[in-house]
Structures are given as structure tokens and as C-alpha cells.
Structure 1
């Protein structure tokens, strides 16, 4: 599939127009201060501008320069190379999500310029629909961040911050990327930025198409299906007066995907954000914000249409006040109006929630920084949540800083868990949300075991403690230990409402059972399993992360990171102590030793990344080499004892090496050539699907079943005008 020729002509025409404008030298968000120490500014962790080196919580900053150097055009490829960030492919479907510190993708909030991206599939945001076009930097905050950002920030936040027009500038950028090898992709970007006096404008378009490719031919589904998509983005800034600023932006994404003859999928993703910034004084600002977003996907399966239509409207007011030259107070509140129209959810549903938050960022002494925040959220559809957080940073001396944070997080029940109405009677089961089963099935039937109608939000408490060490000039080492305890996890269970034969019941109960069958719509002689949801699971993740950032000299930089991760389900650990049995590969029943317990599915205990960047300013070229390692993991229980142990089938360890070289020509053109998975690591042993070589007796699964592998090369041309 190729891009529409009209789009291509339009972009080429824009490139020709932009070429009449002078090039403005590009700047990176990373600066070197007088002591040659890295001095980076971020906004996500505290919602104020803060130097990365002084923050009391673990944060990763990905600069525009790094994004450009590695040549990525989609968010997933950038995140894949960061410490403590894992991309996990779900066993069901073709969705891929982000883990932070071992916490599942459902609990990681993804934002663009501080506002959330909606539209999850199996709990995951499709990262391929987020282009890196016009990105200034990416900020990753690890650990509970619900005190500022509410639900879905229980595991952390990823905030994509876009460029803003600089004073008195007019510049354009245009680039084309083609990817070959195991992939078949064409990507085109075009941007324009204008700023004059009180008015600023940014506009951009990204076009992406692929003929599709399959890095896992022995499994289904394909890695990427044939598709064509485009993204439009625009921002307008206007200074109404010296004390009043207007800022509005929008983003629109559209994709058409061809899966097979008779199976298609289309997606649209739109969001707009309008903000009025009122500067009451040098110390006091008030922001009035209205955010609206909508994600819609329509799938056609041989004439049967499936709909997912999610929208969110959020008015918010926020104020920040600085005082005593050492403290900043942030406080505010807002309303979430969250709606979903989906196949298998009757009549469309709507959440209404209101929230308030406060945060105090202060320095009691020159060497101590403390950040305390809290948020309260109430709703008409789920129980309220209160989430405080406190963080502190102490500079022992010029070399060592100590930092730590403790915070609560929460995630609200989703529409599916409350309103789902999926019926597969032919296969003997139905799945109902807690509101659906209470309002339509068990209402008024007192002799039936009642299901809790309003689920509690899932909650967590996260601990982070570590050090930042600057032993020599240009070198920064971050060490962080973490622990996350997650409570009231929501999962499905069998209510057993209709699991018994009517002949075994008393006449009174038989009448109730008949009424239940009538309400569900099945005959009296059918046995059917009725599933719904409840709060009951408790899990934990814990480990240690090490990050190294070393500017060896003005030409050479070295980055590396390592994470050790230990996870577990507390209920499963208790069951093992009571005695859990399973059948090994020989069909013999065995009692599981506690040491054989591996933890949660889709988690690797060891992950490592290393990157080296070389830049030659005299000859205007740059080279980088990047490596990623992920140790073995278990995607699912394969020996039917309902937990993950060393006798399950493991995905083998995986190592990928990526390479890129950049060359600047004439001060206007940047050429880039790169290879991903340089040594074509495929994760196979003798090309077998299963190879029972685990020393504990479990099987080893090739990586292609769950990872995107295969060597690919790309060529990228960028014109800066």
C-alpha cells in the first residue's frame, strides 16, 4: 500500500516553499552548565519547570536530540530503549503496552502536552498511532503519580511535550523515511513554525503507510497489517496582553487498515486543548483549561460491524503561587465527563467525576527539597479515592544526593468492568459488568448472592529511594530501589449463578433460577457460566534501577541502564504454601516448591540497555550504536496450575543491536542511514517452535511469538529550512 499521491505532492510543494526561509539553528533541551554537568528542565513530575538533577523522584528525560539521532518515527521505538520501560505484547489480540517498574500498561498514563491519550485495547494504548513529529522531549515519571494526574497514573506517567514557536522565527522542516528489510514502510513529515510579536503558529502533518509485514510467520496474527494513516497537528498562541495569554492546539489521527479479505479496521483519534493563562503577578498564575478528546474505531468482520467510541471532556482550573522565594503552591480542580459507546455495552455509558488537588514544593534549607501533594476524586459510578504523595531530595555534598518518595495511586474501574454485556451462549458463558448484572439480572432477587455494584478503584502504594552520584565531571549515576504494592485489583470470576441443575434445588430456588434464565434469555435446561468482576487480587513489584549518563567529551556520550525486577501475586504465594499441584511435561503430578515460583506473567527479571553516541562537529556527521537486552519471561501459564513457575514455557532471552549514522549537508539537509536488529537475532533454536531446554524442565518459546524481531534498515532525508 502506498501513500496517496496527492498528499505526497502537497508535502513536496510545502518543502519547496519552506526552502526560501533561512535555517534557524536547532537547540536541544540538554544544556551544559559552567561545571559541565547535565542541566535538563522537565515539567511533568511537579507540573512546574524543574531541573532534572534536583527532582526527588525517579524521572527519565528523552531529548529531541536523542530522538533525532536514533531515527525513530513512532513512540514505541523510542521507549523500547529506556531503562525500566518494557513493551509487552498481549497473548490475546495484537495489542502492545508499556510496563513501568513491572506495573502493567493499564496503570501507565500517556499524555501529550499534559493531557491524556484515550482509547485502550485490552488496557493498552496503541503507540504506533503516536508519531514523534514535532516532539520537543519525552518525560517519564516512574511510580504513583495519581496525586497530580488521577486515574491510570498508578504506575507512572509518560508525557510527550511538543515544540512551541520561538520569538521572531519562521522555519520549516520536511523529511522522508523509507524502511526496508523485514519491514515495508514509508513515513513523511512536514512542519512549519512561525512567531512574530504576539502571534505564534505551529502546523504539521505526518503520513505513514505500510504494505504490512510478519516477523512471526509461525504464529498469528501478523506483526503489522497493511495500513495507511495520517496525523495533523496545529497550535496557535496569542498574547492578548502582558498578563493574559491564549493557547489552543489540536491533533487529528486517521488510519485505515486492511487485515484480510472481509476484515478491515478504521481508527480516528482527535483531541483539542484550549488554555487561557492569566498572570496576576510575578508570583501568581491562574490557568483555565478545556480539554476534549475522542477515539473511535470501527471494525468490520465479514459484514459484522464492531464499534468502540470513547470521548472525554475536561474543564480544569489550576493556580500556582510562589512565595518566600523558596516555595511554590499549586492547587486546582476540575470535572471529567467520560463517555463510551461500544458494541456489547447497551445504550452508551457515561462517567462523571470531580476532583481537586494541591501540591507544595518548597526548600526548607538550601540543600533540602520537599514536595507534598494530594488529590481527592469523587464520582457517580465508583467509590471515591484520596491519593497523597510526599517526596524529598537532600544534597549531601556536590557529589551525592539522596532522594525518596512515597505515594498512593489509584485506577478507576473501566466501562467494561461496570457495563459489559457480552453473551456467548453457544459456548456456555456470558460476561456482565457489575452494574449490568445488578440492574438487569439480580435486581429484586434477594435469595441470590448479590454482586457489589460499585467496584472500588484499584489502589497502590509505591516507594522509591535512591541516590544521584556525580563522581567526576560530566558523569551522572542514578540508583533507585522501588517497591509497589497494588491492592483491590479487579478481575473476573464465575458467579456460579446458573451452574447447578434445577432438579437439585428447592421449589423456591427453582423459581428464582427460572427468573434468572428468563432475564438472561436462555432456556431452563441450559447450564451456563455467568462471569462478572470484583476486587480481590493483591500483587507487588520490586527491584532496583541503575542509570548512567556520561558525557566523556564534547564528541562522545555514553548512556546505560539496568533493571532487576521481582514480582508476585500475594494470593498465589499463599496458595503455594498450602500446596499447589501441577502435571509436569511427563504428565506426573508434582507439588510446587516455593523457590520455583517465578512471579507475574510477561515480566523479565533482568533488562539492560547501552548506547554510545559520537558526533563530529568539524565534518558534520554522527554515529550511534545501541543495544537492548531482556532476559527470559513467561507469557502465560502453560502447565495449568494457574500461576507462573519455572516449569512453564519461557520466552528466550533477547538481545538487539541498533545502529545509525547521520550526515549534514549544506547546513540544510540531514541524511540518515540505520539498521535495527543489526545481527538479525531471531530467538530460535534450530527453528523449533518449542525447545524444552529449560534447566528446570520448562519449555522455551521463540521470541517471535511475543516480540517484533527481524533485521530492518532505513534511509531518512530531513530538510530544515
Structure 2
């Protein structure tokens, strides 16, 4: 009896104590869209706090007293309030948080796989907003990505700060993702730009430098993560229609050859059409919530392009959708399914007829002689996913993908690949601002191909990263262990470039940021990277327009690291604000993979001079063409130092709203102690500059808005490409047909030699707001009608006029 009485008295005492506590509760809403903010933080000056739920609600029980309370959400302005709570009081504070207007507060996820402010990222990172994509009437992601300082796209292959050259469409040192799902195909590990849903982009995040710790192979040179939009409280529909016309003729151009001779190139007759050559495209996207617990996204694209090169055309169709469900039964559980389908057909132009017929294919359009090839492709991506945020704030992500790619053409180069991908990711954030990100990834690829043969590969990896934030300092460190297999070839890992024959490849990452004052962020980072050869690089065997491409079954992985020190400095000039970014960087590669021209055996194996001489003696010099071509090799090592300066700004100056993105990048990409055989493949071996790189790049995009009218322009400068493959600039050694030497690219040597001044390309745009929900735009690309190329004999379009109508409702 006494024990029961004691228990009741103790319970009454505890209840009395608890009843003397006070409660702070409320709801946090988004100021732009008037919808709940999920996962916002409410923190008392004692360290006690809470996060908002799916309805934006929060509740904190604490002792009576006076407190300072911070209401915080990444990318939004923090609201601070002083409150006094009495015993037993229930105080309700409902607030609306507004997005920050300083670009350093932009929310990014790619650097550490969780939301953080751009200024706190320890590596160079750029963000492209959807307004720039819409304003430029962008057809492909590559066109908008190339506007970022330090980024180049050489015929569908991305290079960040000179990390890559041009590799004939096989392999990529930059990992492209959509919502953190890889977009590289399983066979060639190349980027399928036509499958990227341009119609539904929230922002594009470009991470510069080795990023293999979190993203694995193919992130050796950086990461591009394309984040898509999600529904708000009100349904949203976007429809865009555009029509572009290729104008005939290029401007004549003053030429200065390497020997100092000057001339004028008559280029106004290079185009071949009399009537209009055009393209037309249309995008649509629809986003809406279905009740309280479901979200729906549907989008699509159609494009028909007649092409500006004779015989070249492209038709493209894309349809995608996603359904997301918030569980009613299990708090914090969401799951969904995304599907993306892409269908293409067209023709591939690889080699011009000659330097005076740059828009005509070698062999013309006659099917018996042409080097044009026609293709069709189908790409299907099915992505189930699940996210669970438990009551302790731990976050579990499961992402999966099936990526099927079917490619067919009329030159016996068909390939089908099935790529299966799965990732489990766990995140935990402690009150002391320590964050853990860890996970496992698995992928399997099955390839059936006329082009590569039949092969399988798989990849297994584990990763871990810790981020710790103090008052002004944030430290980041991480590691990854990765196993890779193609057929019977397995990983033989290195440790800091030392051969250890490990069954996995370890890589490491370190980074730090220091925030000495508001909107000043000093950063330093070091990251390792690696890339395993793709199935295409290892096994491709084909013949393209007079050019042999040989397999190399013995090619090995490439390794690298990048280091950087930089500063982001925010600024505000009246109502105009933004940031200036300065950085110095160094990238080094070991066993770098590169396609190299030379003489190889018919099966791609090495061939000695004596063996080649015996072949010529038995069959004549004409047979040499069968043994000459390109093969992916491990060349020696490379060193790429450089620096970069960029500025991003937006704001009002008087009645005008101005936005700008500009930057300059310098690189010095050189081979380290190259041997004479490798240098012999350079068009200018004395410079030792890596092939297919431009040392100087300068870019600016700006827009001025005045009431309903907006004017903008983009200007890009690239310096002369110091080195290309020597085989493109000279006749094939010892190969003579009908008494004339044979060139792979007829006339390209003198053509290139006379154009050594680099290129400036300008685009302009003018738009008018017809109504609050519709806009009409007139754009002109290549305003100066300059004849320029991004790889040998790939001359890019002449001046093009585009009309676009965009509707939102």
C-alpha cells in the first residue's frame, strides 16, 4: 500500500513539473508560394529546437523564461525573435520565410548530397537558374552548360577546366546526372543530351574538380547535376514553341597563317540551300498536387531539325513523368516512380568533303559513297525511389534505375545496353552541426553490340563523408572504396598512385571553408578521382568515313587529383548584389586515357615497324590505310594548372533589372615527360600542350529587363586550339591512291593554319511580355555569322534566327 502511494505521489510531482513547462508552436510557410516549409529548423539560444513536419508545423516544450529564437531554412532569410514564456503557457508563432536574394545563399545539393548554401561549398561550383534556360530558347543542355565559365562542350563531350579533350564520343570524365541519377549510357559511358528533360529544370549545378568520393568513376573531372521542378500548391503548366531558321552564308574572314601571310577567305558560298532550312520544337510540362499526399509531374518535347549540313537531319521525341506519394500511415516516408523515354532518328555527319565544302559530307549524299550514316535510337529510364526521414532526423534514401539504350544505324554499328543502378544513402545531422553521409552503390551493365561485341560489367562501391561546422569554419572529409569489373578484368587498386593490387580502388577528399565576415567565404580543397575504361573504349572496332577505330583490350584505368584554393566575396551596390569568385587550381592525371593515332594491327594490338614493313612488302603501300587509325591508349601523365575569375549578379538599377554571369579561365594543360612516340601524334609537338584544349576562355551573359521588355546577350571567346591530332592536318604517310596522297580531312591542315586567332561568338535576344502568363521572344545566335568549330572539321551553324512563344498558366 505504501509503495502504491509513493508511486502516485511521484507521478503527481512529475506531472506538476511538466505542467510548469511552456510550449512554443506554430507553422512556417514559403513566402513565394504560400506552402508549408518542410524540414525548417527552429532553434532556441539554449540549443533546444525542433524541425517542421510535412505540414510545416513545429512544437517545442521548454522551461519558462526569455529566449532568442531563430527560424531557419536553407536558402531563406533567417528570422530571429525574442520571446518570453510563462509556466504552462502555449505560445503560437506562425511565420512566413522569404527566399534570400543573395546568390551565395542559393541552395545546392551536389557538393555533399544534402542541402547547403552555395557559399559554404569547399569547391568551385556554379548554378544555372531556369530563367537563363528559358531566355536563351535552349534546345539542349550542352548549349546552356557551355555558358558557364571554365566549361566546354566538344561535340557532346564536356570538359571542365581542360580536364578532357575530344574522344570520339566514348567515355566521359564528367558525370552528368538528373536528380542525382547518372545519365551516362552503359556501353559508351557517353552523355545522352537528347534524353535530358530540358522542359522541367529547376536549376543546374556544376561541380568543378575531382568528385569521385561521392559519385565514383566518371566524376574524375567534375559533376553536373540537373535538378527538376516539383509541384507547388497551385498547378502549373508551361508550353513553349520555337522555330529557328539557318541563314545562308558565313561572313568572309581575314586570315593570318603561321608564316605571317594575310588573306581574305570568301566564305559566303559555303552554305548550300536556296530556300529556308529550319528547325521547330515544342516543350510542355505540367506539375500539380493530387490531394495532400501525391504529386504529379508530366513533360515532353518534340523537335524536327532539317539541319544546316547537306544530308544531315534530326528528329527527336521525349516524354517523361513522375508520381510521388507521401505516406499517411508512416510519418516521414515518401516513395515514387519517375519514367523518361526518348526516341531519335537522324544522320551523323563526321567528315567534310574538303575545306571549301565544309557543310558537305565526304562522298556526298550518294548512299554508295557517302560518309553520312543514318541512325535511330530509343532510350528508356525507369526510376523507382524511396525516402524515409525517421523521428530522430535520420534520412534514408534508396534510388534505383533501369536505363535501356537501343542504337541502330545503316553501317552495322548497332548496340543495345541495359544499365541497372541502385544506391542506398544514409544521412544523419547532429545538433553540434556534424553531418554524416554514407552509402552503398551497385550497378550492372549488359551489352549486345555489333560495334563492341557482347560484354557485361558491374560496379560495387561504399562511400562515407563527414562535414563539421563551427562558428566560421566548415571541414569536409570523405573516402570511397570501389570495385569494378568488365568481363573477366577486375579492379587492381592503387593507393596514392602506388600500385597495391587492391581488390578495390580507394579515393579521398578533404575540404574547408572559412567565413571571416558576412558573405566572405575562403575555401580550399583536395580531391582524388579515377575512371575505369568504358566498354566502348576497350572493345570498339569500327570504320568511320575513312577512319579506323581500333579496340584496346589492355587499356587500364586512369587516375587523377585536383586541388584548389579560392574565395567567394559577396557584394551589394545599392539594389544590385551578387558575388565575385577567384580561384587557383591544379589537376594532375596518371595513365590518362586518350585516343591516339598510329599504326595498329587489325585486331587493335600493337604492331612493330618490322611487322608493318613486312605487310607493305607483301601487299604494297596502299594497305597501310587498313592499319592506320585511332585507339584508346594510356598515354603518360598530364598536368593542368590554371586560375579562374567569375562574377554573378542580379538587381535593380533605377527602373532596370539587370542579371549577369561572366568569367575568365586560363589553363596550361601539358604532358609530363612525354615520349617521342606520343609527341609525334601532336600537330605542334614543340608546345606539349594537350590536344583539343583551349588555354583561354572568356564568357559573359547579361540581361536587362525594363517593364515588359527584356534584352540580353551571350558572348564567348576561346583561344586557338594549340594541338589536335597530326593525322588530321597532314596526308596519311605512305598512302597514295590514283597518284594522289590521301587525307582523312581533306584540306584541314591549311584551313586550320590560317585560323589561329581564336573565336568570338555572340548570341542576342529580345523578349516582350504579351500578358502576365505569356512571352514572345526573338533570338539570334552567331550574330557575327562566324565560321568556327569545336573539333576538326565540325563547323558549327551559321547565323540563326529563332522565334519563341512561352505560355504559363
- Identify the TM-score tier after normalising by the shorter chain: 0.7 to 0.9
The Cα of 1:490 is off from its aligned counterpart by: 3.4
Bigger Rg, which one: 2
Distance 2:299 2:127 in 1: 24
Structure 1 residues 499, 127: CA separation in 2 closer, same or farther (over 3 Å shift)?
A: same
Tell me if structure 2 keeps the 8 A contact 1:652–1:703. Answer: no
Matched position secondary structure for 2:636? strand
Taking structure 1 as reference, are residues 322 and 345 closer, same or farther at Cα in structure 2, changes over 3 Å only?
Answer: same
When residues 582 and 629 of structure 1 are mapped into structure 2, their CA distance, relative to the original with a 3 A threshold, is closer
Task: Confirm whether residue 628 of structure 1 aligns to residue 716 of structure 2.
Answer: yes
1:470 aligns with 2:470: no
Equivalent residues of 1:307, 1:343 under 8 A apart: yes
Give the match's secondary structure for 1:682.
coil
Question: Alignment partner for residue 250 of structure 1, among 339, 344, 358?
Answer: 339
- Structure 2 residue aligned with 1:306: 413
Gaps of 5+ in 2: 1-31, 36-73, 78-97, 166-171, 248-276, 349-364, 368-372, 492-503, 734-748
Report matched runs for 1:118-267 at 5 Å.
118-119=184-185, 124-166=190-232, 168-182=233-247, 184-195=278-289, 196-214=291-309, 225-240=312-327, 241-258=330-347, 262=367, 263-267=373-377
Question: Quick check: 1:270–1:295 contact (8 Å CA) kept in 2?
Answer: yes
Which aligned pairs between 1:497-576 and structure 2 lie closer than 5 A? 500=610, 535-553=634-652, 555-572=657-674, 575=676
Does the CA-based 8 Å contact 1:30-1:63 persist in structure 2?
no
Inter-partner Cα distance in structure 2 for 1:553 and 1:563:
28
2:214 is paired with a residue of what secondary structure?
Answer: helix
Once the two structures are superposed, residues 443-474 of structure 1 have per-residue CA deviations (whole angstroms, 9 ceiling, x without a partner) of xxxxxxxxx5xx54211011111111235451
1:85–1:100 CA contact under 8 A, matched in 2: yes
The answer as to 2:808 corresponding to 1:720 is: yes
Q: Is 1:678 aligned to 2:738, yes or no?
A: no
The CA deviation string for residues 144-183 of structure 1, in whole angstroms up to 9 with x for no partner, is: 01001111100001111111112x3222121211111346
Which of 99, 102, 109 is 1:37 aligned to?
102
Q: Give 1:117 shift.
A: 1.2
1:113 Cα offset (Å): 1.1
Contact conserved, 2:119 with 2:519, CA < 8 A, in 1? Answer: no
Structure 1 residue 411 corresponds to structure 2 residue 498: no
* TM-aligned CA distance change 1:64 to 1:497, over 3 Å: closer
**Cα 1:242–1:25 shift into 2, 3 Å:** closer
Distance 2:565 2:775 in 1: 42
Alpha-carbon distance change, 34 to 229 in structure 1, aligned in 2, over 3 angstroms: closer
Q: Tell me which residue corresponds to 1:97.
A: 157
Shift of the 468–254 alpha-carbon distance from structure 1 to 2, 3 Å rule, reads same
Q: 1:355 matched to which residue of 2? A: 461
How far the C-alpha of 1:548 sits from its partner, in A, is 0.8
Give the Cα separation in 2 of the matches to 1:399 and 1:163: 28
Shift of 1:314: 1.3
- TM-score of the aligned structures, taking structure 1 as reference length: 0.76
- The match for 1:480 among 556, 573, 583 is 583
The answer for the alignment partner of 2:433 in structure 1 is 326
CA distance in 1, matches of 2:548, 2:100: 66
Q: Distance in 1 between matches of 2:509 and 2:783?
A: 43
From the superposition, tell whether residues 551 and 315 of structure 1 become closer, same or farther in structure 2 (CA, over 3 Å).
closer
Counterpart check, 1:397 vs 2:517? yes
Q: Deviations over 1:259-309 (max 9, x none)?
A: 6565421011111211111112252011122111122210113xxx32122
Structure 2 CA distance for aligned equivalents of residues 654 and 171 of structure 1: 41
TM-score between both structures, scaled by the size of structure 2: 0.68
How many aligned positions are there?
Answer: 603
Contact map agreement 2:184 2:190 (CA 8 A) in 1? no
Kindly state the Cα deviation for residue 391 of structure 1 after the two structures are TM-superposed: 1.0
- Corresponding residue for 1:92? none
The 5 Å alignment of 1:699-718 reads 705-718=793-806
Q: Specify every segment of 5 or more residues in structure 1 that has no aligned partner in the other structure, as ranges.
A: 1-22, 90-95, 215-221, 435-451, 505-521, 585-591, 684-700
Determine the structure 2 residue equivalent to 1:49: 115
Whether the 8 Å contact between 1:682 and 1:703 is mirrored in structure 2 is no
RMSD: 3.7
Do the aligned partners of residues 408 and 665 (structure 1) sit closer, same or farther apart at CA in structure 2, a change above 3 Å counting? same
- 2: distance between equivalents of 1:264 and 1:581? 34
- Contact 2:648–2:661 (CA<8 Å) still a contact in 1? yes
Match of 1:489 in 2: 592
- Deviates further, 315-324 or 121-130: 121-130
Aligned to 2:106, the other structure's residue is in SS state strand
- Identify the match of residue 83 of structure 1 among 142, 149, 160: 149
Per-residue deviation, 1:353: 1.8
- Secondary structure of the 1:416 match is helix
Instruction: Verify: 1:342 aligned to 2:449, yes or no.
Output: yes
Measured in 1, the distance between the counterparts of 2:513 and 2:144 equals 29
1:475-521 deviation line (CA, Å, top 9, x unaligned): 411011111101122356855568656999xxxxxxxxxxxxxxxxx
Q: Secondary structure at the match of 1:553?
A: strand
SS across alignment from 2:528: strand
Deviation of 1:663 (Å): 1.7
